[in-house]
Amino acid sequence: MQTVVAPTDHPDRLKDAVSQAVDLLKRGECVALPTETVYGLAADAMNPEAVAKIFAAKERPAFDPLIVHLSHRDRLEEVAMVPEEIAKDVARITEHFWPGPLTLVLPKSAAVPDLVTSGLPTVAVRMSANPIFRRVVTSLAQPLAAPSANRFGRISPTSAAAVVKELDGRIPLIVDGGACHAGIESTIISITPRKEGKPLIRVLRAGPVTKEDLQPFGKVEFANHHTEAGEKPEVPGQMPSHYAPRTPLRLLEKPEDFQPEEGKRYALLSYRGGEEDGYLFLTDWLQSLTLSPGSGKLPEAAVRFFHCLRALDECGADEIVAEPLPERGMGVALMEKLRRAAAK
Ligand code: AMP
Ligand code: MG
C-alpha cells in the first residue's frame, strides 16, 4: 500500500487533506491524524472491520483497548453510560478539560464494538483539541477510535515524519498537522463516587493533565503502574515495556553509578543540560539532547520527549542514558515513560 502524506499548510491543502481523510474513514480505512498529544491512527469506532485495521497496522495485541474520540461533549452518551452518582462530576470535569488531553473511563454503551474496548465493560473517551482532528471527526459525524500511530510498544510519533517511520506502507494516509503541542499521550482517569464530598479520581495513566490540575475536582490517586514483567497490570494495556527505542535505554538515577564499558558508544537524554547535574561530562557522549535546556520546564520537556528519544535511537549509539526528571506535574508521566522505555 502506498502511504500519502497530506500537507495542511494552506487553507486549500487543509480542506483537501480533511476531505481525503473523511472519505477514507467513511470507506472503513484507517488514517493517521494529528492530535494535541501525539499522532493518532484513527478509524470509525463503530465499524469493527475498520477498527481491526488499526490493530493490524500497529501490530497491537487485541487485549489492549483503544480510546474513543468524540466530536462534541454532548455525544458522550452514544458511547458511554454515565452513572447517575457521578453525572455531575463528569459534567464538571468534561466542561473544564474538554476539548483537551484528558481521557475518562466510563461504562460502555452497547453500540461500541467489543473490539474497541478489548471486551471490557468500560470505554475510554476523550475529545481532542486539535483543530484538524476536530474537523475530521465532526465531518465524519461518528466517533473515532485512535491510538497512537506507532508500531505497538514503540516510541509514539509527534510529527508526520515520525508516523512515516512507523507505518509507511501500512496505511493509506497521514495528515501532516505539524508538531504536537502537548507531546505525550492523554491522562487517563476513572471516577468513583465517595460517600461524602468530591469523588475519587484515579489516574490510570499519567499525562499532560496533572494531579495538580485534577485536584479541584476530587481526591486524586495514582493507580499502581509499576508491575513486574509477567504480572497482570492493574490498568489494561499498560505493559511494563512500552515506548521502547530499539537502542537499549538506561534510566541513570545517580550520575556516580555510571561505569562506561570500553568501546561502547553512549547517548545522553538530558533533562535541562545543566553541568551541575553531573551528567554532561560523564563520558564522551556520541550525541546528547536536552529536553528543556536551561530552565528545565516540564511541559517543554514533554513536548520534546518523544522527538528526542527517537533522534537518540537513530544516532547509532549502543545505549541511551536518560537523566531522571523531577516527579511532579508532567514529570510524573515522563518518568513513567522512561521506566517503561528502560524495561526489557
Ligand atoms: P492509546 O494507545 O494512547 O490510545 O491509549 C490506549 C490506552 O488506554 C490503553 O493502553 C489502556 O491503557 C487505556 N484504556 C483504554 N480503554 C480502557 C478502559 N476501558 N479501561 C482502562 N483503560 C483503558
Ligand atoms: Mg500508544
pLDDT digit string, tens, across residues 310-320:
999 999 999 99
Q: Could you tell me the three cell numbers for 225?
A: 503502574
- Cell 521506566: give the residue: 339
Rounded-to-integer distance, Cα 236 and Cα 99, Å: 24
Give which of 205, 310, 302 is closest to 247, Cα–Cα: 310
pLDDT at residue 231 in the model: 58
pLDDT tens-digit profile of 77-129? 999 999 999 999 999 999 999 999 999 999 999 999 999 999 999 999 999 99
> Both 68 and 156 in a single domain?
yes
- Per-residue pLDDT, averaged over 203-228, amounts to 89
pLDDT at residue 229 in the model: 56
Ligand with minimal distance to 306 CA:
2
CATH number of the domain encompassing residue 27: 3.90.870.10
**Structural domain of 317:** 249-342
Tell me what percent of the residues of the chain surpass a pLDDT of 90. 92
157 lines ligand 1 (CB under 6 A): no
Mutate to test the pocket of ligand 1, among 33, 41, 64 (most ligand atoms within 8 A of CB): 64
Give which of 90, 40, 99 is closest to 66, Cα–Cα: 40
Residue 273 lies in a domain: yes
46, pLDDT greater than 70: yes
pLDDT at residue 241 in the model: 80
Grade residue 234 by pLDDT with cuts at 50, 70 and 90. Answer: low
pLDDT tens-digit profile of 171-203? 999 999 999 999 999 999 999 999 988 999 999
> Both 16 and 163 in a single domain?
yes
292, pLDDT greater than 80: yes
Q: Tell the residue nearest (CA) to atom 17 of ligand 1.
A: 124
288 lines ligand 1 (CB under 6 A): no
Which of ligand 1's atoms lies nearest the C-alpha of 38?
Answer: 3
Q: Could you tell me the three cell numbers for 74?
A: 454532548
- Distance of CA 29 from the midpoint of ligand 2 (Å): 19
Last residue of a domain, one of 176, 192, 226: 176
Last residue of a domain, one of 176, 201, 224: 176
Rounded-to-integer distance, Cα 216 and Cα 25, Å: 38
- Per-residue pLDDT, averaged over 7-34, amounts to 98
Rounded-to-integer distance, Cα 26 and Cα 144, Å: 11
233, pLDDT greater than 80: no
What 3-state class would DSSP assign to 136?
A: helix
pLDDT at residue 226 in the model: 55
Which of ligand 1's atoms lies nearest the C-alpha of 124?
Answer: 16
Give which of 209, 220, 235, 217 is closest to 299, Cα–Cα: 209
How many domains are there within the chain? 2
> Both 268 and 164 in a single domain?
no
CATH number of the domain encompassing residue 271: 3.40.50.11030
Residue 283 lies in a domain: yes
Mutate to test the pocket of ligand 1, among 127, 150, 187, 188 (most ligand atoms within 8 A of CB): 188
238, pLDDT greater than 80: no
> Both 61 and 142 in a single domain?
yes
pLDDT at residue 146 in the model: 97
pLDDT at residue 118 in the model: 95
Grade residue 131 by pLDDT with cuts at 50, 70 and 90. Answer: very high
Mutate to test the pocket of ligand 1, among 108, 156, 205, 243 (most ligand atoms within 8 A of CB): 205
67 lines ligand 1 (CB under 6 A): yes
Helix ranges, the chain (H): 11-26, 48-58, 76-79, 87-97, 114-117, 131-140, 160-167, 211-214, 298-313, 331-342
Rounded-to-integer distance, Cα 281 and Cα 129, Å: 41
Ligand with minimal distance to 103 CA:
1
Rounded to the nearest integer, the mean pLDDT of the chain is 95
pLDDT tens-digit profile of 251-286? 999 999 999 999 999 999 999 999 999 999 999 999
pLDDT at residue 235 in the model: 74
Which of ligand 1's atoms lies nearest the C-alpha of 64?
Answer: 10
pLDDT at residue 112 in the model: 98
DSSP per residue over 249-274, as a string?
A: EEE-S-GGG--PPTT--EEEEESS--
> Both 56 and 141 in a single domain?
yes
Last residue of a domain, one of 176, 200, 229: 176
185 lines ligand 1 (CB under 6 A): yes
- Per-residue pLDDT, averaged over 8-29, amounts to 98
Which of ligand 1's atoms lies nearest the C-alpha of 40?
Answer: 4
Mutate to test the pocket of ligand 1, among 222, 235, 239, 241 (most ligand atoms within 8 A of CB): 235
- Distance of CA 243 from the midpoint of ligand 2 (Å): 8
pLDDT tens-digit profile of 21-38? 999 999 999 999 999 999
235 lines ligand 1 (CB under 6 A): yes
